[in-house]
Structure 1
Amino acid sequence: MTQISQALEAIDAANAADPNQEDGTPAAQLYGQRMSSELERLFPNAGDVLKIAARGQHIERWILARSTYPEGRAGYHAWRRDLAKHHAERVGAIMQDTGYSDDEIAQAGQMLRKEGIKRNEDIQALEDVICFVFLKWYFAPFAAKHSDEKVLGIVQKTARKMSDDGRARVLNEFDLPDELAAAFKN
């Protein structure tokens, strides 16, 4: 078994413990598989570190429940920051166990903590993949539960995180209403 296969398998094994199910599969495991699928489609030449970061983007996400943090923006940001740290630590431990170098582990940690969006090519690629996965599989259920105003705000935030190429691909691949598509045209 290759080093990358061992790392991805270990991430999947960790995510198999997710008590939340989606389509009969542990939710974090399904999310990781969707991330890998979109990464392969969007960036077929991605290196091992980016592949591992994509698969581990939500590793053991259920461990830090949003409900254990205060309501509101500050609580949400604290939760997201703690999740990113947890994801980076867990993926780093898996990478260490499967023989990756300290430099590769540090790179994956930067990706998972999103340190360098818009400045680092691999971190930006990961962010574009995250946005595509959200739009492809999670946007419609989200939109059904929230006001048009909140949906527009989330779409605008999503578009701002993406690269120019990523935004152009969204416009080509998704049939968005004009008011939402406008966010990807800037």
Structure 2
Amino acid sequence: MTRLQTALDAIDQANAKDPRLDEGQPEALLYGQRMSQEANRLFPNASDGLQIAARGQHIERWVLKRADFPEGRAGYLKWRRELGVHHADRVSQIMADADYSDEDIAEVGAMLRKEGIKRNDQVQALEDIICFTFLKWYFAPFAAKHPQEKVRDIVVKTARKMSEEARLRVLTEFDLPADLAAAFEAPSA
């Protein structure tokens, strides 16, 4: 078994313990597999690091509950930052156990903490994978539960996080209403 497969299997084992279910499977496990599917589709020659970061993006996400943090934007951002640190720490342990170098581990940690988005190609690639995964599997259920203004706001925020290449690809892969497609046509902020 390769180091990569060892790391991916360990991430899956951790995520298989998620008590939350989505389509009858542990939610984090299914999300990680979807992330890997999009990583392989969007970046067929992805480095081990990018593949591991994609699979581990939500490792043990249920451990830090949103309800345990203050309400409002500041509480949400604190929760997200702490999740990023948790994901990076857990994946770092897994990579060390699979004999990855300290340099490889640090690179994946930076990806999972979103350090250097828009400046670091690997961090940006992970963000593009996250956005495609959201649009492909999670956007429609989200949109069905929220008012149009909130949906538009989320689409704009999603587009803003993406690379120009990824935004253009969204326009060819998804059939979005004109008002939502416009968010992907505009240059990123």
Aligned residue number for residue 131 of structure 1: 131
1:68 maps to which residue?
68
One-letter amino acid matched to 1:133 = T
Q: CA deviation at 1:124?
A: 0.6
User: 2:50 is matched by which residue type in structure 1?
Assistant: L
Post-superposition Cα deviations, 1:75-105, rounded to whole Å, max 9, x if no partner, equal 1000000000000000000000110010000
Is it true that 1:140 corresponds to 2:140 in the alignment? yes
- Runs (4+) of structure 1 exceeding 4 A deviation are none
Instruction: Tell me what 2:122 maps to.
Output: 122
Cα distance in 1 for partners of 2:10, 2:103 equals: 20
Task: Look up the equivalent residue of 2:160 and give its one-letter code.
Answer: R
Distance in 2, matches of 1:27 and 1:128, equals: 21
Whichever residue aligns with residue 157 of structure 1, its letter is: K
Q: Aligned with 1:176: secondary structure?
A: coil
2:93 — aligned with what? 93
Q: CA RMSD in A?
A: 0.5
Q: Which amino acid aligns with 1:139?
A: F
Q: Distance in 1 between matches of 2:81 and 2:146?
A: 24
- The AA in structure 2 aligned to 1:53 is A
- Classify the secondary structure of the residue corresponding to 1:79: helix
Q: CA deviation at 1:24?
A: 1.2
Gaps of 5+ in 2: none
Gaps of 5+ in 1: none
* Structure 1 residue 144: Cα displacement: 1.0
* Cα deviation digits, residues 122-169 of structure 1 (max 9, x gap): 111100000000000000111111111111010000000000100001
State the distance in 2 between where 1:145 and 1:74 align: 23
Q: Please give the alpha-carbon distance, in whole angstroms, between the structure 1 residues aligned to 2:121 and 2:43.
A: 11
> CA deviation digits over 1:13-59, x for unaligned, max 9?
00000000111110000000000000000000101011000000000
* Residue in 2 that maps onto 1:173: 173
Q: Percent identity?
A: 68
Please give the TM-score of this superposition, normalised by the length of structure 2: 0.98
